[in-house]
C-alpha cells in the first residue's frame, strides 16, 4: 500500500465519516483511507478529530465525508477514486486551511 506512506495531518479536521457496504466490490479505497487516517501517527496530529466508520449492509456507495474546523465539508465518492487520489486531495485541502503547514510545505520544496 504505497498510499500509506503519505503523511496525513488531521489538525484542521473536526470529523471524518467513512460510509461503505463491505459486500460491494468498490470499497477497497474507502477502507484503505479509513485505515490510514486512523493510524496512531495520524491521530496524534489532532486527538479531538472524530473518525467514524459507518458500515452499512444495503449496497450503499462508499462515501467519505470530512468536516473541517471552519465548518466546510468535503464529500468524496470513493467508488471510482484510488486511495492515493483521495489522500492527495485531502492533504491539499488540509494544507490550504493551515497556514503553518503551508509554510512548512513551501520550505520543503525549496
Grid coordinates given for 32: 484503505
Q: What is the pLDDT of residues 58-83, one digit of tens each?
A: 888 999 999 999 999 999 999 999 99
Q: How many CB atoms lie within 10 A of CB 77?
A: 13
Q: What is the pLDDT of residues 26-57, one digit of tens each?
A: 999 999 999 999 999 999 999 899 999 999 98
Q: Find all residues with CB under 8 Å of 83, minimum gap 6, and list them.
A: 1, 3, 28, 29, 32, 33, 36
Ordered domains of the chain (ranges, CATH): 2-109 (3.40.30.10)
| pLDDT given for residue 35 in this prediction | 94
Residue 38: exposed, middle, or buried by beta-carbon count in 10 A (0-12, 13-18, 19+)? middle
The model carries a pTM of: 0.81
**Inter-helix orientation angle 83-97/99-109, to 10°:** 110
Amino acid at each position: 500500500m504505497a498510499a500509506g506512506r503519505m503523511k496525513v495531518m488531521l489538525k484542521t479536521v473536526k470529523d471524518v465519516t467513512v460510509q461503505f457496504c463491505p459486500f460491494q466490490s468498490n470499497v477497497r479505497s474507502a477502507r484503505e483511507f479509513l485505515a490510514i487516517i486512523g493510524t496512531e501517527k495520524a491521530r496524534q496530529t489532532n486527538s479531538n478529530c472524530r473518525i467514524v466508520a459507518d458500515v452499512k449492509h444495503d449496497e450503499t456507495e462508499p462515501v467519505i465525508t470530512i468536516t473541517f474546523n471552519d465548518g466546510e465539508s468535503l464529500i468524496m465518492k470513493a467508488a471510482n477514486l484510488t486511495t492515493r487520489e483521495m489522500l492527495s486531495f485531502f492533504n491539499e485541502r488540509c494544507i490550504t486551511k493551515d497556514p503553518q503547514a503551508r509554510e512548512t510545505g513551501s520550505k520543503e520544496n525549496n
